Structure 1
Amino acid sequence: MAKTPEGRDVSDGHIVAVLAVGFFLLDVDLVVVNPLLVPISKDFGSSLGVATFALTGYLLTFGAMQLVHGTVSDSVGRVRVLRAAMAGLAVADLAAALSPDIWVFIAARAVAGASAAAIIPVTVAYVGDRVRPERFQRTMATLLSASAVGAASATLAVGVLTDLVNWRAPLVMPALIAAVLFGLYARLPEPERPAPDGRSVRERFAVVLADPWFRFFIPFTFVEGMAMVGLFNFFNAALQKHGHSVLISGAVTSAYGVAAIVGRLAVGRLGARAGGAAMFGFGTAALFAGYVVAAFSQAIPAILAASACAGVALAIGQSALQAWVLQAAAPRIRGGAVALVACSVFTGAAVSTAAVSGLVGADRFGVLFGLAAAVTVPVSVIGTLMRARFAREQGSQQHRQEERWLSSP
């Protein structure tokens, strides 16, 4: 049982629940624009390719600011950084809802991405500070399931609000949730952190990059972000360009959230028996299958299946990756380490969305999803093999520690 700064007792369940609300907001804000790209481009008289830069700008600042939020939280505190970020997010989303033209909208969403960027690295570092290592993946799967529910809820709510009001109304939704979270985060206890070691930010990042595993993680997660976080965002637009409404498209792609919940249950049941390598391999294989289906057809059944596969990949594959990163990161630099990896993931996602903007503008979604499937193959194979190697190295280290303990007088 932890205590808040005011001395109130807070259970671990309450803490995870608040963190889950944060991850719920994370995906609400990440996906709220996806169903709106077509109506926004029509309203502002821009091409769909230009409107796509609202997604690219968000992901780019979201990735870059991971470094700032994660590192700052190592020194000033996790809770303080989360609350400041929620204030910024609420203001930015309101500005996006009131935008007079496409460029102001793109800029406002970029600021929203910079603010929302705090949620992943700071929350994951918070979990690493307070949760036992054997519960990392289960806790992360819970948070990722909450984010998937946010994605499903957002796509449905966006469709309803756009049909009933206009495309601006859905953007008020994440602004209001951010304002609520500003208060909820104040009820979290600030975890104890190791005493400052006198290192500068540059020196802290140098320590992270001196670790061979993080030298692998940075380029690997850049490519993984393209597949897992970037390219699936176009499932909704593909349906709309094939003549379906925002509401119908949102209902179909909300299968992502439902499948992620099922995936979370699978993690809970299989996590103790299946290794991290198997979980990562299964999750990325599901993502590959989804992209292959979507490459051959962008009809409702195909996108429904593809969205479900992406949800399973999030809950099982992405949670396995995040647990892997937490296990590899030393507590003293955990915030910066997680931030570097998250920055790499979302920078890769931003680059991928910008790279395919021409395909989106030309309605060549089959080619787009075929490329996504091709990118997923090396991610799945290399990630699974390297995760298995990490497990072997950990087992060897633990065995050597046990031998030293048994041989000590």
Structure 2
Amino acid sequence: MPESVMPLALGMRHERLALGLSGFFAAASIRAADTLLPALSRDFGISAGKTGVAVTSFMLAYAAFQLIYGPLAERYGKLRVIAAALLACAVANFSQSLAPGFAWLVVLRAMAGAAAAGVIPICLARLGDTEPLASRQSLLARYSVATICGLMTGQWVSGLVADALGWRAAFVLLAAGFACVAAILANLARRGETAGHWQRVDPGPRPGPATLLKSAWVRRVLCMTLLLGLLCPSVFAFVPTYLKLHFALSLAAAGAITSMHGVGGLLYAGFAPALIRRMGRQRLARLAAALLGVGMACIALGQHWLWIAAGCLCAGCGYYIVLNAMQTAATQMAPSQRANAVALFAFCLFAGQGLGVLLAARLVDTAGIPALFAISGVLVILLILEVSRQLLHRLDATPP
């Protein structure tokens, strides 16, 4: 009996609440280091651009380990894998607080990325198992509230804690949160994925993520996902640094302004069901392109921090519209191998982010952050229009 049709032992609501908490802390760990980059630059005596390696190491490890977690989740059960990953996140984040130098911090950030890779994508796969396609995009939009709040909290609270207690305390706080949620998921995994489930799973060889790449449709989705990660979320890693250096704001203030990117995502999540129903996926994608263009322009040209806040708000709303649509496409790429499909999606998204931060760091040190946002803004608009034309048209034609 496949996992997708198994009853949820503690009820759908309890499980989804636990998955939301897992996504919250995993998302917080993804962006916590962004606001800490100026503090790392000061404490370790390196340039603002070079501190971006701490972000890149996390993203690339996060991406690479998707290829491991997907097959593990298909084999041993999604809830078990999420619980184990959360525990590893607690250990990795506490270790970062003890880093004796920047090189060690980069290595430990990579370990944290490897651990966090097993949380959000597998949560999305589990949600995809328990929700039909017709209502899945709305469900994933609601789930994104947890991850967006995590991103916002990670960016803002890490700066707040760093100003008060130092950047190491921010990682200790994350470790404590992960440990608590790991205990909750471990209990759910024991009760929701019983030994009986193990007996029902075919013990023979199971197809891996590579088998999905035989499909031209899957390759197209993944290629556009890689480009989205390369062009959009990676550049926002440098917004706190820009606010700190150009507008002389505190780390807490810079983190709060950058978190407006998440507020934009929350606005979309709140209105997602109505927007999807009234506009459809393709028109909504074109709205996303317009919002991202306006947001990037505000950041590139703004001469006051209020313009940066407005730009983060608009760009965040646009980004989460297109990300939500592509997540839905990922959960439908291969329903029989949903964990592998979503793992490949996450691999491409975060590999793009990791590579994007490396390229953006070079541009930041040579041309400046405004130029970075101007170039990214033009390219991401072209990408989203192509996503609307190629991917979302097919998704709309798929039976629910």
The alignment's TM-score, normalised by the length of structure 1, stands at 0.89
Q: Distance in 2 between matches of 1:8 and 1:350?
A: 36
Aligned residue for 1:81? Answer: 81
Deviation at residue 8 of structure 1 after TM alignment: 9.3
- Of 380, 385, 388, 1:384 maps to 388
Are 2:22 and 2:86, in contact at CA under 8 Å, matched by a contact in 1? no
Aligned residue for 1:151? Answer: 151
Aligned residue for 1:295? Answer: 300
Q: Distance in 2 between matches of 1:236 and 1:125?
A: 32
The residue identity in structure 1 corresponding to 2:398 is Q
Q: Distance in 1 between matches of 2:323 and 2:395?
A: 17
Q: Distance in 2 between matches of 1:329 and 1:251?
A: 39
Aligned residue for 1:286? Answer: 291
Are 1:286 and 1:313, in contact at CA under 8 Å, matched by a contact in 2? yes
Aligned length: 388
- Of 352, 356, 362, 2:356 maps to 352
The residue identity in structure 2 corresponding to 1:357 is A
Any gaps of 5 or more consecutive residues in structure 2? 1-6
Deviates more, 1:39-48 or 1:342-351: 39-48
List per-residue Cα deviations over 1:282-314 (Å, max 9, x = no partner): 234322321122111363122101211232134
What secondary structure does 1:275 align onto? Answer: helix
Aligned residue for 1:207? Answer: 211
Deviates more, 1:83-92 or 1:107-116: 83-92
- Of 230, 235, 242, 2:234 maps to 230
Aligned residue for 1:134? Answer: 134
Matched, 1:190 2:196: no
Q: Distance in 1 between matches of 2:17 and 2:49?
A: 38
Give the CA RMSD over aligned residues.
2.3
Counterparts of 1:3-402 in structure 2, within 5 Å, are 9-188=9-188, 189-190=192-193, 195-196=201-202, 198-201=204-207, 204-242=208-246, 243-297=248-302, 299-331=304-336, 333-362=337-366, 364-391=368-395, 393-394=397-398
The residue identity in structure 1 corresponding to 2:374 is G
Aligned residue for 2:4? Answer: none
Any gaps of 5 or more consecutive residues in structure 1? 1-6, 399-409
**Measured at CA, do residues 363 and 156 of structure 1 come closer, stay the same or move farther in structure 2, by a change above 3 Å?**
farther
Q: Distance in 1 between matches of 2:263 and 2:381?
A: 25
The alignment's TM-score, normalised by the length of structure 2, stands at 0.90
Q: Distance in 2 between matches of 1:344 and 1:97?
A: 29
Deviation at residue 378 of structure 1 after TM alignment: 2.4
List per-residue Cα deviations over 1:75-99 (Å, max 9, x = no partner): 0111111111111111111111111
The residue identity in structure 1 corresponding to 2:177 is I
Q: Distance in 2 between matches of 1:130 and 1:116?
A: 23
Deviation at residue 393 of structure 1 after TM alignment: 4.2
Q: Once superposed, which parts of structure 1, at least 4 consecutive aligned residues long, lie more than 4 Å away?
A: 191-195, 197-201
What secondary structure does 1:196 align onto? Answer: coil
Are 2:260 and 2:316, in contact at CA under 8 Å, matched by a contact in 1? yes
Are 1:71 and 1:335, in contact at CA under 8 Å, matched by a contact in 2? yes
List per-residue Cα deviations over 1:141-194 (Å, max 9, x = no partner): 122121111122222212221221111111112211110111121243239798
The residue identity in structure 2 corresponding to 1:81 is V
